[in-house]
């Protein structure tokens, strides 16, 4: 069994026919058929079933395909790692970000990565916090930006900043009104995300601890749905800052106090999937973008300062600097 044969099996399985796979692999079809025949003879089992419209994997072929995909991906990853050590990070990096921060982070990550790391291929998944957390726990992404890292299992998390939450609704004080107490905010007619989402749970936890009853009149999962009710004056909402950029006009945002409601935003990754060199470079890039967003007021919160010793230890561990 050779690596070449495994690559050919993958090509056939994904192309669905010998002829299509031969074109993709730049090999003559008879030569491709011969290599698969040799592989089946060595294993003494049939891997492919010839059909009138192509080929299909047998049970044994499907299992070997899964193993082959894993082996080839790992070998390609090692090759990328060796290339990266020459100063040009290379490979595929997958990142999850909260849907509420997508408009803020997605263009910035793509543009900055294209400028600094042109050899890195990116996949960026923006979705609900719950989905992002699960992707990180299961190692489906290399790392993610999450506000609920403390709820995740088997992850390493680097806290970046503490974000504030705001009441947003129709008002007469302009875009940035005076602070509002949680009791005052809770007494207004509210539209909130479902309890399955971390933001809703964090708000309700703070309300319960303060003895405040929230007047939740509507539940909407989508940001556009929440925004439509707020803009119409039917309800107010409680939100972190990024979504407010599109929600403010003609509403006002007031920071919640007594007590303040905050969340810690972190970069996290599975301890079972250590960061590759390319992923470490992207992690530092995203870290820098988050710090910029907070310092420039595009994501309201307070940075968690790292010590010089922490920075030095991180640079030695990853071979990068942020």
Q: What CA–CA distance (Å, rounded) separates 149 from 82? A: 31
Residue-by-residue pLDDT tens, the chain, 322 positions: 888 888 888 888 888 888 888 888 888 989 988 998 998 899 898 999 888 778 888 999 888 988 888 787 777 666 666 665 556 788 889 999 988 888 899 999 999 999 999 989 999 988 776 777 888 988 889 999 999 888 888 899 999 999 999 999 886 554 466 899 999 999 999 999 888 888 899 999 999 999 999 999 999 988 788 888 998 899 999 988 887 666 556 678 899 999 999 999 999 998 888 888 889 899 999 999 999 999 998 998 999 986 544 454 444 444 444 3
Contacts for 87 with CB less than 8 Å, ≥ 6 apart:
none
Q: Which domains does the chain carry?
A: 3-84 (1.10.10.10), 91-162+264-318 (3.40.190.10), 166-260 (3.40.190.290)
Q: What CA–CA distance (Å, rounded) separates 148 from 165? A: 14
Q: Which of 121, 3, 6 is nearest to 14 (CA)?
A: 6
pTM comes to 0.68
The DSSP letter of residue 28 is -
Q: Is 69 exposed, middle or buried (0-12, 13-18, 19+ CB in 10 A)?
A: middle
């Amino acid at each position: 069994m050779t690596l070449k044969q495994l690559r050919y099996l993958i090509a056939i399985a994904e192309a669905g026919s010998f002829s299509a796979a031969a074109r993709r692999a730049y090999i003559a079809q008879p030569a491709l058929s011969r290599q698969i025949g040799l592989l089946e003879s060595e294993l003494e089992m049939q891997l492919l079933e010839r059909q009138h419209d192509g080929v299909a994997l047998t049970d044994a072929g499907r299992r070997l395909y899964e193993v082959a995909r894993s082996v080839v991906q790992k070998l390609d990853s090692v090759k990328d790692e060796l290339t990266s050590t020459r100063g040009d990070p290379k490979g595929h990096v997958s990142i999850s970000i909260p849907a509420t921060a997508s408009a803020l982070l997605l263009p910035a990550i793509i543009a900055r990565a294209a400028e600094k790391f042109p050899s890195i291929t990116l996949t960026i998944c923006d979705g609900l916090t719950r989905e992002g957390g699960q992707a990180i726990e299961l190692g489906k992404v290399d790392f993610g930006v999450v506000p609920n890292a403390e709820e995740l299992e088997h992850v390493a998390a680097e806290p970046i900043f503490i974000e504030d939450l705001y009441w947003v609704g129709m008002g007469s004080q302009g875009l940035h009104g005076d602070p509002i107490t949680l009791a005052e905010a809770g007494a207004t007619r509210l539209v909130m995300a479902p309890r399955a989402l971390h933001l809703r749970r964090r708000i309700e936890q703070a309300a319960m601890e303060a003895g405040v009853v929230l007047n939740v009149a509507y539940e909407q999962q989508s940001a556009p749905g929440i925004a439509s009710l707020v803009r119409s004056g039917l309800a107010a909402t409680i939100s972190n800052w990024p979504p407010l950029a599109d929600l403010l006009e003609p509403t006002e945002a007031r920071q919640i106090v007594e007590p303040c409601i905050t969340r810690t935003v972190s970069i996290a990754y599975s301890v079972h999937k250590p960061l590759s060199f390319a992923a470490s470079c992207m992690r530092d890039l995203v870290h820098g973008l988050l710090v910029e967003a907070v310092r420039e007021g595009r994501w309201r919160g307070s940075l968690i300062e790292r010590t010089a010793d922490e920075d030095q230890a991180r640079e030695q561990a990853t071979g990068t600097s942020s």
